[in-house]
Amino acid sequence: MRVIYIKGTWGRLLLAAAAFAIFTAMHWLSEKAITTVSTMLATRLVPIYKVEVPDKRMSVSFDAMWGVDHTDELLRILAENDVRTTFFLGGYWVENYPEYVRKIADAGHEIGNHTYSHPHLNSLSPAAIRQELERNHSNIKAITGRDCFLFRPPFGEYSNKVIEVAEELGYYTIQWSIDSLDWKDVSAQFIVDRVLSQAGPGEIVLMHNNGKYTAEALERILPELKRRGFEIVPISELIYRDNYYIEPHSGIQRPLKPPKDTRSRAFTGGGKGL
């Protein structure tokens, strides 16, 4: 390794100038990097995963895209436990089982939009995303007379593009904070343990209407949640409809003001919608 010695006044001045230039460049680059990251964080849109609530409300939700083998059993269990919840219905399911769409609505449950064909939305153009939501929205409204305003993206995939289109159509994009994993056909006991171990205020549970052991697990989960003092409500009675923000790193929806009971903005069968 060669070592260069700087001698003389001019040499030392030259070295100081070079050091200052390097320091300035590094400082500028670091500031630019921080600004870029901050901008990215500030503009990154996320769905609602969980809600900060002042009480012990939480939601259990169901996605429906294939089959109805266990749906009657689910509706029976929900009715016996006096629980209303949210069903996110896919378009193919709506078209194939319109009588079940009516059953769900007539039982007092809330219906959300799960797109028409269950695609990977991130791969679609904004126009195609809009078409997925609008087509299913129209089909659901034709059966129930209600406008949906809750939307769950297939596979839990989202991006700014997906959320922006949903917002333009009056939708709140909803994810989940507790995945029951019932879609993996795990045992009822596994589902029960998984949900109960994570249950808490503002949590949103993901289940599926046609899970093999979902109904068996639900029959044990609901009474235990009630025993623990939880109130299980439709998602529209959990979220804030205005004066809120969503933490980009956690997906928790928080009120801008001190938490208040959000049930004054509860589901009434009408949306902001299309």
Query: Over the stretch 51-77, which tens digit does the pLDDT of each residue have?
Result: 999 999 999 999 999 999 999 999 999
| Mean pLDDT computed over 115-139 | 98
Position 43 scores a pLDDT of 83
Tell me the mean pLDDT in the region 74-87: 98
Identify the pLDDT of residue 22: 56
Binned at pLDDT 50, 70 and 90, residue 79 comes out as very high
Single-letter amino acid, residue 232: I
- pLDDT value of residue 202: 98
- Greatest CA separation for the chain: 93
* pLDDT of 260: 57
Q: What is the dihedral of CA 118, 124, 127, 133, to 10 degrees?
A: 20
Lowest mean pLDDT among 84-88, 140-144, 268-272: 268-272
Mean pLDDT to the nearest integer, 98-114 = 98
Q: Give domain limits for the chain.
A: 1-43, 50-265
pLDDT of residue 1: 46
Confidence of residue 257 (pLDDT cuts 50, 70, 90): confident
pLDDT greater at residue 218 or residue 32: 218
**What is the C-alpha to C-alpha distance for residues 153 and 172, in angstroms, rounded to an integer?**
11
The answer to whether the beta carbons of residues 178 and 195 sit under 8 Å apart is yes
By C-alpha distance, which of 204, 46, 217, 201 is closest to 110?
A: 204
Provide the percentage of residues in the chain whose pLDDT is more than 90: 77
Catalytic residues: 63, 208
What does pTM read for this prediction?
0.80
Alpha-carbon gap, residue 112 to 86, rounded angstroms:
7
Residue 17 has pLDDT above 60, yes or no: no
- The domain made up of 50-265 is a member of CATH 3.20.20.370: yes
Element (H, E) at 61: strand 57-64
Q: Average pLDDT in the 15-24 region?
A: 55
- Who has greater pLDDT, 14 or 124? 124
Residues 148-195 pLDDT 10s = 999 999 999 999 999 999 999 999 999 999 999 999 999 999 999 999
pLDDT at 142 over 60: yes
